[in-house]
């Protein structure tokens, strides 16, 4: 039994006794790559031999990020249709040491859920591969049963004290998308009622920081470096320390405001009648001001993991869900 939440920025994979967090980046393997020679235990090399034919060797996660070229995970709208999606699923399942034929629970953005869930389920149930990680033995990875669950609704299943029979809203702030789900607790079961996605997230905050960096230095900033600037506020550039703390702070506030505005606008008047707003997704950690922008807001513990943890409950049948 495993659950995998493939995000645009990170893949969160969990089994009852293990967790794996991998940046969602895949790059073709290159012999004698510098990133590989100095990897210090970061990232992975995956060799995937599909039973339908073909073997692929690639860098995954931190290694792919450091390898640079062509490594960034696509910002395609339908990420689960991108080949990287299945590569990340296979690598994460292998890292969790999932047994062959295990049950897999994955999520789909609410906006695509109804239309795409069957197709995704069929595809993942048909996926069979031999996978080796970091030069280890090849192990067969396949899923006996795949459950596709609406993203966001997964996170709600980790909340133990949802007020009875009142409408609540879960907001999952991700890298590229923010999902929201309206739900009601009826007879001790979470009943999702409606929801949607807004295409806005931490990516926009990174863009804002990048554009300040570019206008200050005349040079664009590499993807991998944006994280460092956002985390530290400062970076050495051509021998001088560049302090972007104020720009980062401004980007945080503006992005939080834009996300809250878009979600509240999508909810319309319904937004005024929520008993609670539960905030999840790694983005909540980067945007603490979101707490003040939603009424009766509560950040879920370990917000980046909330969906994956909820998915696991769906799989083990301990979910108070519909």
Closest separation in Å from C-beta 60 to Mg ion: 18
Nearer to ligand ATP, 303 or 321 (CB): 303
Nearer to ligand ATP, 88 or 98 (CB): 88
Burial of 291 (0-12, 13-18, 19+ CB in 10 A): middle
Nearer to ligand ATP, 82 or 320 (CB): 82
Closest separation in Å from C-beta 64 to ligand ATP: 15
Closest separation in Å from C-beta 23 to ligand ATP: 9
Write out the DSSP string of 273-302.
G-SEEEEESTHHHH-TTHHHHSTTEEEPSS
Secondary structure class of 27 (helix, strand, coil) = strand
Closest separation in Å from C-beta 183 to Mg ion: 18
Burial of 248 (0-12, 13-18, 19+ CB in 10 A): buried
Closest separation in Å from C-beta 205 to ligand ATP: 8
Nearer to ligand ATP, 103 or 255 (CB): 255
In Å, how far are 204, 225, 258 from 212, measured between CA atoms? 13, 14, 18
Nearer to ligand ATP, 157 or 202 (CB): 202
What is the DSSP secondary structure assignment for residue 82, as one 8-state letter? S
Residue 152 touching Mg ion (CB under 5 A): no
Q: Is residue 62 within 8 Å of 10, Cβ to Cβ?
A: no
Closest separation in Å from C-beta 189 to ligand ATP: 25
Residue 107 touching Mg ion (CB under 5 A): no
Binds 282: which of Mg ion, ligand ATP, none (CB < 5-8 Å by kind): ligand ATP
Site pattern 153..182 for Mg ion (x: CB under 5 A)? ---------------------x--------
Kindly give the pairing relationship between strand 189-198 and strand 234-237.
unpaired
Residue 303 touching Mg ion (CB under 5 A): no
Write out the DSSP string of 94-147.
HHTTPPTTEEEEEEE-HHHHHHHHHHHHHHHHT-EEEEEETT---EEEEEEEEE
Closest separation in Å from C-beta 35 to Mg ion: 26
Burial of 66 (0-12, 13-18, 19+ CB in 10 A): buried
Distance CA(43)–CA(168), nearest Å, equals: 38
Binds 177: which of Mg ion, ligand ATP, none (CB < 5-8 Å by kind): ligand ATP
Q: Is residue 231 within 8 Å of 205, Cβ to Cβ?
A: no
Binds 81: which of Mg ion, ligand ATP, none (CB < 5-8 Å by kind): none
Residue 7 touching Mg ion (CB under 5 A): yes
| Binding residues vs ligand ATP (CB under 6 A) | 7-10, 174-177, 201-202, 281-283, 285-286, 304
Nearer to ligand ATP, 132 or 227 (CB): 227
Of 229, 209, 2, nearest to 97 by C-alpha is: 2
Binds 107: which of ligand ATP, Mg ion, none (CB < 5-8 Å by kind): none
Interface residues with Mg ion (CB under 5 A) are 7, 174
């Amino acid at each position: 039994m495993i659950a995998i939440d493939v995000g645009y920025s990170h893949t969160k994979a969990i089994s009852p006794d293990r967790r794996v967090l991998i940046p969602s980046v895949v790059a073709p393997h290159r012999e004698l790559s510098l990133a590989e020679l100095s990897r210090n235990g970061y990232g992975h090399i995956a060799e995937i031999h599909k039973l339908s034919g073909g073997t692929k060797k690639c860098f995954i996660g931190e290694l792919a990020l450091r390898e640079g070229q062509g490594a960034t995970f696509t910002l395609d709208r339908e990420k689960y249709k991108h080949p990287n999606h299945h590569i990340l699923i296979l690598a994460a399942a292998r890292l969790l040491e999932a047994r062959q034929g295990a049950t897999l629970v994955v999520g789909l953005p609410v906006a695509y859920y109804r239309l795409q869930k069957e197709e995704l389920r069929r595809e993942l149930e048909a996926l069979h591969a031999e996978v080796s990680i970091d030069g280890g033995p090849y192990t067969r990875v396949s899923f006996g049963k795949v459950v596709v669950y609406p993203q966001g609704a997964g996170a709600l299943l980790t909340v133990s004290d949802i007020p009875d029979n009142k409408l609540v809203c879960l907001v999952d702030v991700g890298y590229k998308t923010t999902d929201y789900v309206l739900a009601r607790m009826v007879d001790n079961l979470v009943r999702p009622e409606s929801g949607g996605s807004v295409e806005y997230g931490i990516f926009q905050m990174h863009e804002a920081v990048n554009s300040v960096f570019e206008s200050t230095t005349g040079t664009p900033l590499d993807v991998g470096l944006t994280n460092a600037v956002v985390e530290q506020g400062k970076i050495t550039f051509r021998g001088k320390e560049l302090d972007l703390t104020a720009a980062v702070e401004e980007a945080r506030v503006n992005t939080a405001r834009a996300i809250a505005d878009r979600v509240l606008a999508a909810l319309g008047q319904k937004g005024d009648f929520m008993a609670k707003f539960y905030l999840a997704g790694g983005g909540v950690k980067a945007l603490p001001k979101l707490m003040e922008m939603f009424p009766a807001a509560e950040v879920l513990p370990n917000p980046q993991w909330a969906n994956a943890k909820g998915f696991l409950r769906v799989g083990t049948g301990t979910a108070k869900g519909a």
